[in-house]
Amino acid sequence: MTPKEALRRIVPKKLLAERGIARRLGARAGRVYLGLRVLDSVGVRVLNQQHAPSTSRSFLFVCFGNMMRSALAESLMWKAVGEIFPERPQDVQIVSAGLHAVTGNEAHPWARTAAVDLGISLEQHRARLLTQEMVDQADCILPMDFQNKAELLSLYPKADTKIYMLSAYAEGPWRNREIPDPYFGDVEVTRFCARQLQICIRNLIGETLAQVRAQREAQHPA
């Protein structure tokens, strides 16, 4: 038996999987990822609880490939903005991107199905690769999981003060944790994920853009 085979028998598969993820992410991002994972496992989630400033007007949703979670979040937020403002505010920007996106890829079929359930469409969505310009222009950057956050912190360390877990706006078991990638599930898993994203967007809007409308109405009463 080789040392590697012996290690696999002793160490739980989950730990081996986490080590594999950390290695794939690289030295710096891997260390950040393992740190986030350890804190989460012992229930320390203070950093995940931070909310974006109420003054935020430019939102950047980030996931792995920009074909499912971040694409859904972007479309859901535009829908919510349309319900709040009669005309789209010129100062509001909502973008999604993937850390490993293949530019031009269509949204995943499961995500397109889940989108229809929530009254949005991803038929015209095309994946975008995250760029420095997107990061610079965003008031807040909202990753979905610890891998996303670790890579963001590693690639864009100067943007660390505007990176917030989208799960800070979740309800239930995902709150202040991760929004898992439904790519490894099925269409029903994707539908569940989309509904949770809708909750996140509703809460995010309530703390940011909904306040803009209230302020404008106070300044210009009917």
Which residues are tagged catalytic? 63, 69, 181
Burial of 11 per CB tally in 10 Å (0-12, 13-18, 19+):
exposed
- For residue 18, which phi and psi values (nearest 5 degrees)? -65, -40
